[in-house]
């Protein structure tokens, strides 16, 4: 059995938390004591039924205000799959928390309120989903109960959204009309929406195919830790521990260590007391090389047949996540894989206007702004373009005054 | 369905090992908080996978309320002898003797709340900059919101409204002096995942996790082990029951469940069928809707 990670996104009050609650409730994934707490809570829907959103709105402030502030993670499984759900906030103020949840998602469910159609937050979240290269997108047109389950309303929203998807290069979209409140097309097919012939949301989630890049030419192993017991019997033991971020490694593969550029051959792959024949993407292993070369944390071991770019002047998409605006005169830190080095934002190329999705040349990066920059790092980074290999193309900017993560970088190309 | 992805237990294991190694790589003085429960026992097993044949780059730390199940302490000491790693014990009794905290009185007295002080004190005395814990997001709705690397201020407090963004598998462990980071490698595991993993890996557990006979009293609707640490009066009727524990903490706040699960397979089917969550057996969470959030803000694990 595999795991599908997905996120709910969309504008505030579109019903994301309610949808998650409904999904859990109708698939019988809520335990008795949690249900008891749900019934006992004084936050109820207008008609007196239980408010399913409080299943994920776990913070006091969230329950008081009736909105989601930070991502909540929920877990459930069916016979087909295990699911890790990230319920993201819709409010623009908490975009950074949405980005946090979205960065690890295989699939995004973007909700649209059937009464309101596509709004600015729908576009913003769609843009982020496309930038972050989330493989699959589901558009859940919610609150269908409030528009008399109208097919026309649904079709108009589909048409509107397809224009945005085309601009954003989102190719794999599935549209589902739902009512999270009433349960239409969430777990069970809807009787009220008889004109819709597609799958219920759960059925879709159970069957959608997600791929992982196991091509050996993309083999990447960021070194986290060097295992050196230095005991008498293991005097010469030297293993490089890390998690294969993409591709796969086999014994005898020719590898290059970056940034040094030294080459060698894999002599052994270990996972504790076993020696797997192959280290696949996602596996945490310890590898040994034939030659004794200097490797430490922050280096990356790659397949010599497909090396990444190595550069210290890099063009990247940037999503700014701090209330203090970007300051090009400051030195920040950039963390890419297991490496953290100093960096500057050398140039701001453009920002993107969320309403029009056009370029905007207002040179001022503030909270939630998205655009393109050129960074200069103190040491070269060994990266792949994010759009080709997200596992080796994402990095974060840290403000060294506050130590807070302030920017998400999707690296594009060397411009040295 | 796609076949090029790892099985879920391998995926969860690989993620946890990755997180443990990030702690080793990013911090000067980390520690692994070991409670003696199944989650921290699982963490120790994952640490063996992350660092052997090398030594752990951190000691194990046990915050001891003094109100322990004997079996837990025995297990702890045997395990330490087996793996040959360093153990540091912080005693709540010491904090009481030093007058730093005051023992509760009354029928429901417990040292559960006091251990937060001893924990923060132990962190400060040893200068730990990162503490690894076995909390899982499926346990409770405030925990469901917490980052993998969760920064605590110099008072040990968690600020849920100001969590750092945490993207992909890039964990930012940068902190100012006096702050520390709580790290949760098995955040994404469910209770059932932990049990399935323990079975797959053959990890030994303290005997109290399995069904056994024990003297119990019923308090606030829950079965509590009769012990000298529980303030009992004539209203409390001691009965011999067949029980096991789903979570193991301080004796005064860990409730037992009636059970005939003698083997791990029985436990797994019992949990899969169970309609009550694991923390439903913790008196400490019952107090209010925001009980856990409030405790975490104050520095609780
Ligand atoms: N009529 C109707 N109301 C709904 C539906 N889904 C959600 N709602 C209501 O919409 C309101 C907002 O729902 P939430 O689930 O909290 O919205 P959200 O998208 O999670 O909001 P944020 O997380 O704060 O962005 C609540 O009052 C819900 O009861 C639906 O399908 N039909
Ligand atoms: Mg919400």
Outline where A95-244 has alpha helix (H). Answer: 95-102, 120-131, 151-167, 201-207
pLDDT digits (tens, 9 = 90+) for B15-57: 999 999 999 999 999 999 998 999 999 999 999 999 999 999 9
Q: Which 3-state string (H, E, C) describes A172-200?
A: CEEEEECECCCCECCCECCCCCCCCCCCC
Q: Give the integer Cα–Cα distance in Å for B104 and B109.
A: 5
Contact B165 A394 (CB under 8 A): no
As a CATH number, domain A309-414 is 2.40.30.10
Bridge partners of A370, per DSSP, are A319
| Domain-wise residue ranges, chain A | 3-207, 216-303, 309-414
- CB neighbours of A159 closer than 8 A, spacing ≥ 6? none
Query: Does this chain's domain A3-207 share its CATH topology with A309-414?
Result: no
Give A283's contacts in chain B (Cβ within 8 Å): 6, 10, 14
Whether B155 contacts B179, CB under 8 Å: no
Residue A144 DSSP SS3: helix
C-alpha to C-alpha distance for B223 and B216, rounded to whole angstroms: 6
Q: Kindly provide the residue ranges of all beta strands, DSSP E only, lying in A263-403, ordered along the sequence.
A: 263-270, 278-280, 284-289, 300-303, 309-320, 332-336, 339-352, 359-360, 370-383, 394-398
More confident residue, A194 or B1: A194
Q: Across the interface, do A100 and B17 touch by the CB < 8 Å criterion? A: no
Name every chain B residue with its beta carbon within 8 A of the beta carbon of A72.
Answer: 141, 144-145
Query: What is the per-residue pLDDT for A42?
Result: 67
In this prediction, residue B229 carries a pLDDT of 75
Contact A58/B140, CB-based, under 8 Å? Answer: yes
Rg value, chain A, Cα: 24
Dihedral Cα A338, A343, A348, A352, nearest 10 deg = 20
> In angstroms, what is the span from residue A23 Cα to ligand 1's centroid?
14
Question: Chain B residues with CB inside 8 Å of A228's CB?
Answer: 54
Q: Which token pair is A283?
A: 């596996």
Among B238, B258, B259, B254, smallest CA distance to B286 is for: B254
Pairing of strands B130-132, B30-33: parallel
A238, with CB counted inside 10 A (0-12, 13-18, 19+), is middle
> What is the predicted pLDDT for the residue at B11?
95
Phi, psi of B49 (to 5 degrees): -65, -30
Return mean pLDDT, chain A. Answer: 93
Residue of A nearest to B16 (CA): A284
Residues 5-34 of B with CB under 8 A from A: 5-8, 10-15, 17-18, 21-22, 24-25
Q: What is the distance in angstroms between the Cα of A365 and the nearest Cα belonging to chain B?
A: 17
Position B285 confidence tier, pLDDT thresholds 50, 70, 90: very low
Contact B8 A82 (CB under 8 A): yes
Q: In this predicted structure, what is the pLDDT of residue A323?
A: 94
Candidate from B144, B161, B274 with C-beta closest to A69: B161
Confidence of residue A189 (pLDDT cuts 50, 70, 90): very high
What separation in Å is there between the alpha carbon of B138 and the centre of ligand 2?
A: 18
Yes or no, beta carbons of B10 and A283 under 8 Å apart: yes
Nearest CB among B22, B164, B289 relative to A37 is that of: B289
Quick check: B88 pLDDT over 90?
yes
- Domains of chain B in start order, with CATH, are 8-193+290-297 (3.40.50.620), 206-284 (no CATH)
Residue corresponding to tokens 């030594």: B55
Tell me what the mean pLDDT of segment A199-221 comes to.
88
Question: What DSSP letter does each residue of A14-77 carry, written as one string?
Answer: SSHHHHHHHHHHHTT-S-HHHHHHHHH-S-B-TTS-B-GGGGT--SHHHHHHTS--S-EEEEEE
Give pTM, 2 decimals.
0.93
**Could you count the other beta carbons within 10 Å of the beta carbon of residue B237?**
10
* Cα atoms in the Cβ-side hemisphere of radius 13 Å centred on B232: 17
Tokens standing for residue A119: 């709004």
- Taking Cα atoms as reference points, which of A342, A336, A269 lies closest to residue A308? A336
pLDDT at B4: 67
- DSSP state, residue A274: B
Q: Which residues contact ligand 1 via a Cβ below 6 A? A: A 12-18, 45, 53, 67-68, 89-91, 142-143, 145-146, 179-181
pLDDT band at B287 (very low <50, low <70, confident <90, very high): very low
**Least confidently predicted of A34-38, A85-89, A346-350, B88-92:** A34-38
For B138: left if phi > 0, alpha if psi spans -120 to 50, otherwise beta; the answer is: alpha
- Among the four given CATH numbers 3.90.76.10, 2.40.30.10, 3.40.50.300, 3.30.1490.20, the one describing domain A216-303: 2.40.30.10
- CB contact under 8 Å between B170 and A395, yes or no, is yes
pLDDT tens digits, residue range A122-145?
Answer: 999 999 999 999 989 999 999 999
Instruction: Give contacts of B161 with chain A, Cβ < 8 Å.
Output: 59, 61, 69-70
If one looks up domain A3-207 in CATH, what number appears?
3.40.50.300
Mean pLDDT confidence for A189-201: 95
Which residue's alpha carbon is nearest to atom 9 within ligand 1? A15
| Cβ–Cβ under 8 Å, residues A302 and A219 | yes
List chain A residues with CB under 8 Å of B13.
284
Which atom of ligand 1 is found nearest the CA of A182? 31
* Residue B280 pLDDT class (50, 70, 90 cuts): low
Report the atom number in ligand 1 closest to the C-alpha of A142.
Answer: 31
Q: b/e string for B209-231 if b means 16 or more Cβ within 10 A?
A: bbbbebebbebeebbbbbbebbe
Chain B residues within an 8 Å CB radius of A84: 188
Ramachandran angles phi, psi of A369, nearest 5°: -75, 145
B170 touches chain A (CB under 8 A): yes
Contact B48 A81 (CB under 8 A): no
Give the ligand 1 atom nearest the CA of A88: 23
Strand partners, A280: A248
d(CA A177, CA A204): 13
- Ranges assigned E (strand) in chain B: 30-33, 60-64, 87-91, 130-132, 149-152, 180-183, 212-219, 222-225, 239-245, 255-258
Q: Report the alpha-carbon angle A238-A241-A247, nearest 5.
A: 125
On the question of pLDDT at B296 being above 70, the answer is no
Contact pairs from chain A to chain B, CB under 8 Å: 191
Number of other CB atoms surrounding residue A84 within 10 Å: 25
Tell me whether residues A224 and B22 touch, CB distance under 8 A: yes
| Dihedral-angle region of residue A252 (phi above 0 means left; psi in -120 to 50 means alpha; beta otherwise) | left
What's the residue count for chain B?
301
Binned at pLDDT 50, 70 and 90, residue B247 comes out as: confident
Residue at token pair 């963490």? B43
Select the residue of B144, B170, B187 nearest A58 (Cβ to Cβ): B144
- Looking at residue B2, its pLDDT comes to 40
Mean pLDDT value across residues B162-185 = 95
Instruction: Return d(Cα B269, Cα B260) in angstroms, integer.
Output: 11
For residues A285 and A25, what is the distance between their CA atoms, to the nearest angstrom?
38
Return d(Cα A404, Cα A400) in angstroms, integer: 8
* pLDDT for res B298: 66
Question: Which among B2, B164, B280 is the nearest to A210, CB-wise?
Answer: B2
Q: According to the per-residue pLDDT averaged within each range, which of A207-211, A340-344, B245-249, B253-257 is highest?
A: A340-344
């Amino acid at each position: 059995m595999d795991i599908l990670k997905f996120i709910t996104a969309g504008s505030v009050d579109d019903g994301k938390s309610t949808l998650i609650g409904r999904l859990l409730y109708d698939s019988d994934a809520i335990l008795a004591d949690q249900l008891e707490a749900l019934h006992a809570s004084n936050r109820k829907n207008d008609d007196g039924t239980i408010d399913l959103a409080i299943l994920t709105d776990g913070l006091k402030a969230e329950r008081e205000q009736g909105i989601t502030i930070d991502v909540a993670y929920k877990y459930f499984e069916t016979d087909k799959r295990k699911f890790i759900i990230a319920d993201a906030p819709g409010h623009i103020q908490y975009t950074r928390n949405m980005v946090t949840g979205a960065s690890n998602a295989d699939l995004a469910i973007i909700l649209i309120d059937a009464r309101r159609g596509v709004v600015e937050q729908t576009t913003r979240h769609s843009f982020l989903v496309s930038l972050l290269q989330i493989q699959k997108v589901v558009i859940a047109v919610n609150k269908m109960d409030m528009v008399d389950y109208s097919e026309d309303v649904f079709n108009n929203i589909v048409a509107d959204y397809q224009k945005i998807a085309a601009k954003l290069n989102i190719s794999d979209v599935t549209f589902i009309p739902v009512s999270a409140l009433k349960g239409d097309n969430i777990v069970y097919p809807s009787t009220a929406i008889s004109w819709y012939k597609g799958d219920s949301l759960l059925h879709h989630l159970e069957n959608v195919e997600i791929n992982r890049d196991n091509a050996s030419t993309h083999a990447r192993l960021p070194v986290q830790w060097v295992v050196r017991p230095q005991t008498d019997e293991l005097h010469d033991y030297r293993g490089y521990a890390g998690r294969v971020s993409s591709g796969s490694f086999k014994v005898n593969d020719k590898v290059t260590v970056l940034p040094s550029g030294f080459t060698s051959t894999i002599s052994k792959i270990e996972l504790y007391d076993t020696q797997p024949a192959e280290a696949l993407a996602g596996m945490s292993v310890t590898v040994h090389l034939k030659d004794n070369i200097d490797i430490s944390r922050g280096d990356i071991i790659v397949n010599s047949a497909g090396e990444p770019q190595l550069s210290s002047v890099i063009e990247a998409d940037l999503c700014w996540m701090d209330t203090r605006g970007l300051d090009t005169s400051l030195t920040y830190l950039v963390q890419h894989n297991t490496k953290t080095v100093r960096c500057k934002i050398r140039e701001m190329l453009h920002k993107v206007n969320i309403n029009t999705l056009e370029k905007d040349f207002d040179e001022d990066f503030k909270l939630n702004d998205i655009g393109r920059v050129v960074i200069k790092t103190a040491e070269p980074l060994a990266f792949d373009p994010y759009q080709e290999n997200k596992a080796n193309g994402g990095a974060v900017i840290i403000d060294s005054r506050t130590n807070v993560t302030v920017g998400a970088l999707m690296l594009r190309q060397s411009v040295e | 369905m796609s076949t090029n992805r790892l099985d879920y237990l391998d995926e969860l294991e690989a993620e946890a090992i990755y997180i443990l190694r990030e702690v080793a790589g990013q911090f000067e003085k980390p520690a692994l908080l070991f409670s003696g429960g199944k989650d921290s026992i699982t963490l120790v097993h994952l640490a063996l996978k992350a660092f052997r044949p090398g030594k752990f780059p951190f000691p194990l730390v046990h915050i001891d309320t003094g109100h322990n199940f004997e079996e837990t302490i025995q297990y702890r000491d045997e395990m330490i002898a087996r793996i040959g790693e360093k153990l540091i014990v912080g005693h709540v009794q010491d904090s009481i003797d030093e007058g730093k905290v005051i023992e509760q009185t009354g029928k429901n007295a417990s040292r559960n709340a006091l251990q937060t002080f001893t924990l923060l004190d132990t962190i400060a005395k040893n200068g730990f900059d990162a503490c690894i814990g076995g909390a899982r997001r499926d346990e409770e709705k405030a925990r469901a919101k917490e980052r993998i690397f969760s920064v605590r201020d110099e008072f040990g407090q968690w600020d849920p409204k100001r969590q750092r963004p945490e993207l992909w598998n890039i964990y930012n462990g940068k902190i100012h002096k006096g702050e520390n980071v709580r790290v949760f490698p098995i955040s994404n595991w469910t209770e059932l995942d932990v049990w399935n993993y323990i079975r797959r890996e053959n990890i030994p557990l303290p005997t109290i996790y399995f069904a056994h006979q024990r003297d119990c009293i019923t308090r606030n609707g829950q079965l509590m082990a009769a012990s000298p640490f529980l303030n009992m009066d004539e209203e409390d009727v001691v009965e011999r029951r067949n029980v096991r524990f789903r979570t193991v903490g301080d004796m005064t706040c860990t409730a037992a469940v009636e059970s005939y699960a003698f083997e791990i397979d029985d436990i797994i089917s019992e949990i899969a069928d169970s309609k009550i969550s694991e923390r439903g057996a913790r008196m400490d969470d019952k107090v209010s809707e925001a009980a856990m959030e409030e405790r975490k803000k104050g520095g609780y694990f």
